């Protein structure tokens, strides 16, 4: 049995990770059916609580829950508009009173999912807590890599961009390392968090020098406000050194692939031609996302396949 909640990838072992990936592979078949629905979670009520806007992730979770026949309630509100005095704990108590089976939470503050998990009987799935973790994104990335290469162990994966503020980077580093990949990170030193090499990753700042050595290049979304806080001088310069441009992509290995958690800043961290090109797995990631989130909900809600 897995833990009640899925709060992060860091504590999970290879067996836990493979369990999610295997189950997700099974659900891919369901999604190919003319009526892509199974009654596995019939009667279960799941709420998506998004305190930070993320249309894609919320839709992906909603669809996953509906494909499993669960009842889904969606709630979204920007943290900034949360009434003063109302705490996440109040929210948790309200949910508890409404007898909901599972909560999917997205929040701008690290540890927010844990606050809910500590106070709820319902299972909690972290859909991103600040710069901390985004476990389902990492799992769907692992699923996509495994699907494409047939394995993860021994592959070389380079994560490019704003590592410091990225929950996607953290969760992927934990998952990739656990499953035996070699992980490099690359970005301007202002966006590389201190002592990250202690996680067993190699740190680079010149993308051009290392891009040819990796099987998977994973670009991260660059938040435009980072430029305003002085972490890099301009969007133009960022693109020149760290963008996955058409020119730069010519250097990657013949079998190398490009990934991105979305949504992309087209023309900044990735050129449109690259995002839509034949080395891109981006749409594959989106499709796998639904199957993977079905697997997560199925496992945590204790679903049954008849």
Partner 1 sequence: MNRILIKGGRVIDPGTNRDGRFDILITENKITQIDKKITPKGAKVIDARGLIITPGFIDLHCHLRDPGRPDKETVESGSRAGIAGGFTTLCCMPNTEPVIDNEGIVNYIIKEASRVGLCRVLPIAAITKKRQGKEITEFGELIKAGAKGFSDDGDTVANANVLRHALEYSKIFNVPIFEHPIDNNLAQDGVMNEGFSSTRLGLKGAPTIAEDVIVARDLLLAKFTGARLHLCHISSKGAVELIKKAKQEGVHITCETCPHYFYFNDEVLETFDTNYKVNPPLRSEEDRKAIIEGLRDGTIDCIATDHAPHTRAEKELEFTRAPSGMIGLETALSLCIMELINHHQFSWLELIKKLTLNPARILNEKLGVLQPGLPADIAMIDPEKRWRYTENRIQSRSKNSPLLNRELKGKVVGLIVKGDIKYLPGNKDV
Residues that bind partner 1 (CB under 8 A): 10, 85, 87-89, 107-112, 114-115, 129-133, 165, 167, 170, 193-196, 198-199
Closest-CA residue to 178 (of 189, 186, 187, 170): 170
The CB-of-27 to partner 1 minimum distance in angstroms stands at 29
Closest-CA residue to 168 (of 112, 202, 120, 126): 126
Angstrom distance (rounded) from CA 93 to CA 86: 11
The answer to whether 244 and 204 are in contact (CB under 8 A) is no
Nearer to partner 1, 110 or 262 (CB): 110
Nearer to partner 1, 194 or 236 (CB): 194
Nearer to partner 1, 115 or 290 (CB): 115
The CB-of-254 to partner 1 minimum distance in angstroms stands at 34
User: How far, in Å, are 183, 197, 237 from residue 192 at the CA level?
Assistant: 14, 10, 17
The CB-of-261 to partner 1 minimum distance in angstroms stands at 15
Nearer to partner 1, 123 or 174 (CB): 174
Nearer to partner 1, 188 or 303 (CB): 188
User: How far, in Å, are 83, 151, 155, 216, 294 from residue 179 at the CA level?
Assistant: 43, 9, 10, 15, 21
Nearer to partner 1, 104 or 173 (CB): 173
Phi, psi of 74 (to 5 degrees): -105, 135
Angstrom distance (rounded) from CA 240 to CA 109: 31
Nearer to partner 1, 119 or 284 (CB): 119
Q: What's the 3-state SS for 247-263?
A: HHHCCCCCCCEEECCCC
Burial of 140 (0-12, 13-18, 19+ CB in 10 A): buried
The CB-of-62 to partner 1 minimum distance in angstroms stands at 24
The answer to whether 184 and 158 are in contact (CB under 8 A) is yes
């Amino acid at each position: 049995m897995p833990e009640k909640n899925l709060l992060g990838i860091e504590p999970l072992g290879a067996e836990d990770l493979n369990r999610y990936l295997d189950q997700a592979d099974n659900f891919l078949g369901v999604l190919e059916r003319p009526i892509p629905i199974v009654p596995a979670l019939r009667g279960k009520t799941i709420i998506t609580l998004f305190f930070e806007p993320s249309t894609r992730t919320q839709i992906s979770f909603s669809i996953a829950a509906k494909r499993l026949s669960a009842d889904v309630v969606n709630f979204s509100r920007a943290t900034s508009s949360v009434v003063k005095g109302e705490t996440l704990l109040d929210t948790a108590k309200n949910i508890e009173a409404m007898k909901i089976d599972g909560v999917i939470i997205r929040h701008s503050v690290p540890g927010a999912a844990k606050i809910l998990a500590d106070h709820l009987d319902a299972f909690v799935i972290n859909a991103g807590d600040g710069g901390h973790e985004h476990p389902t994104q990492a799992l769907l990335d692992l699923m996509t890599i495994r699907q494409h290469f047939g394995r993860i162990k021994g592959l070389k994966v380079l994560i490019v961009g704003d590592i410091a503020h990225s929950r996607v980077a953290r969760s992927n580093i934990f998952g990739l390392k656990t499953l035996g990949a070699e992980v490099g990170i690359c970005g301007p030193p202002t966006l590389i968090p201190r002592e990250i090499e202690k996680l067993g990753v190699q740190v680079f700042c010149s993308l051009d020098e290392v891009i040819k050595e990796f099987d998977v290049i994973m670009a991260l979304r660059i938040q435009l406000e980072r430029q305003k806080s002085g972490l890099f001088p301009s969007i133009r310069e960022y693109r020149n050194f760290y963008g996955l441009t058409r020119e730069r992509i010519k250097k990657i290995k013949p079998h190398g692939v490009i990934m991105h958690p979305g949504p992309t800043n087209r023309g900044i961290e990735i050129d449109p031609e690259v995002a839509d090109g034949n080395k891109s797995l981006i749409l594959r990631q989106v499709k796998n996302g639904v199957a993977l989130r079905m697997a997560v909900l199925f496992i945590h809600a204790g679903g049954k396949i008849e």
